[in-house]
Amino acid sequence: MLLFQIFPCPWFLISFLVPCYGSLQPGFSKLQRGYRLDRKLIQSFTELSFLDCVIECLVTPRCKSVNYFKGANFCEINYENKTTAETRYMESAGWVYSEKEHWPKELAGACSNSTCEINQTCKHKRYSEDKFFECVLSDCGIPDQNGINLSSIKREDAIGIHRRIHASCADGYSQSGSGQLNCQSNGEWKYNIVCEDVDECQEDPCLNGANCTNTPGSFTCTCDAGWTGIVCNEEFEIPLSLTPFMIFGTNEYREYTQHARYIKCKGVQSGTEH
């Protein structure tokens, strides 16, 4: 046991595991050499063998894929895969990309039967038949606070415990604070950012007598009769098939007079055809 702790993945064990788990083969054959998934990190590890990197993903319910840099035995586990985060999948020399689902879950030993939560990781004794495992907090989750834009996330950012990410406020919010989010040891984000909704109605964006309603990150205009468009700057057009006569005769009349200045003027007031 001591040997396993000193050397996280002894090479003789890999060659031993391959014949043990015949289904290991698909995982190796589906490796994507020269690729990695960018900016979707849960956690990264140094001095880990590739197989240990895969196992780290298998014991972390949120993990969907891994990036591995062979030259430095550097392991990254991701909370997305190349299908769920297509635009973040890119060529990257020296890296190997692999999907969690290409590996047999039995590789995780006792942890393959764990009931850890999505924000936890299962700690186990590697390669042992031991039934012992425990669930410990792994990350703070993907921040979902209103008004935060995660497009400004940096290459080294991660959502794991004691890691941090760089965020900014979404369009329509004003920002205060450094923009850093720190994942604390209790599994909760410390937000060094406050995104306050901007009240766009203060600038009277709605035209032609429309009413303005502020919404989180945006605003809506309720147009006056005869106007349409996002800021009510377009004249409402009456479908040609509807003559004033037809409109007068139906319940549509009230609806149309609310929206169509055209009908009000030329229909109601003068009573003539358009």
The values of phi and psi at residue 85, to 5°, are -135, 60
Place of tokens 């299908």: 83
Q: List beta partners, residue 15.
A: none
- Does 211 participate in binding ligand NAG (rule CB under 6 A)? yes
Among the listed residues 32, 73, 84, 218, the single contact to ligand NAG using CB under 6 A: 84
What amino acid is encoded at 147 in this protein?
Answer: G
H helix or E strand, kind and range, residue 117? none
Q: Are 223 and 215 in contact (CB under 8 A)?
A: no
Distance CA 137, CA 120 (A): 4
Which is closer to ligand NAG, CB of 209 or CB of 249?
A: 209
Token pair for residue 237?
Answer: 């057009």
- Given candidates 83, 128, 174, 176, which one binds ligand NAG under the rule CB under 6 A? 83
Task: With CA atoms as reference, report the closest residue to 54 among 111, 120, 134, 2.
Answer: 111
* Residue 269 is a binding residue for ligand NAG (CB under 6 A): no
CA dist list (Å): 10 to 6, 14, 20, 93, 152: 9, 7, 15, 26, 39
Q: Cβ-count burial of 162 within 10 angstroms (0-12 exposed, 13-18 middle, 19+ buried)?
A: exposed
> What does the per-residue mask of binding to ligand NAG show for 85-124, with x meaning CB under 6 A?
--------------x-x-------xx-xx---xxx-----
Task: Please say which residue, 73 or 220, places its beta carbon nearer to ligand NAG.
Answer: 220
User: Nearer to ligand NAG by C-beta: 81 or 121?
Assistant: 81
Whole-Å CA distances, 104 to 14, 17, 124, 149, 274? 14, 12, 16, 36, 73
User: In the stretch 229-248, what mask flags binding to ligand NAG with x, by CB under 6 A?
Assistant: --------------------
Cβ pair 79, 42 in contact under 8 A: yes
The count of residues interacting with ligand NAG (CB under 6 A) is: 26
**Residue 265 Cβ vs ligand NAG, minimum distance, rounded to whole Å:** 17
In contact, 63 and 91? CB cutoff 8 Å: no
Of 140-159, which residues contact ligand NAG (CB under 6 A)? 149, 151
Query: How far is residue 79's CA from residue 81's CA, in Å, rounded to a whole number?
Result: 7
In angstroms, what is the minimal distance from the CB of 273 to ligand NAG?
27
Nearest distance in Å: CB 192, ligand NAG? 18
CB 272 to ligand NAG: min, Å: 26
Neighbours of 229 (CB within 10 A): 15
Q: Which positions from 158 through 197 interact with ligand NAG, judged by CB under 6 A?
A: 170-171, 186-188
Largest Cα–Cα separation, the chain: 97
Closest to ligand NAG by CB, 166 or 266:
166
Residue 250: CB minimum distance to ligand NAG, A: 23
Residue sitting closest to ligand NAG (CB) = 187
Among 64, 126, 163, 164, binds ligand NAG (CB under 6 A): 64
Q: Please give the residue ranges that form the binding site for ligand NAG (CB under 6 A).
A: 64, 81, 83-84, 99, 101, 109-110, 112-113, 117-119, 131, 149, 151, 170-171, 186-188, 209-211, 222, 224
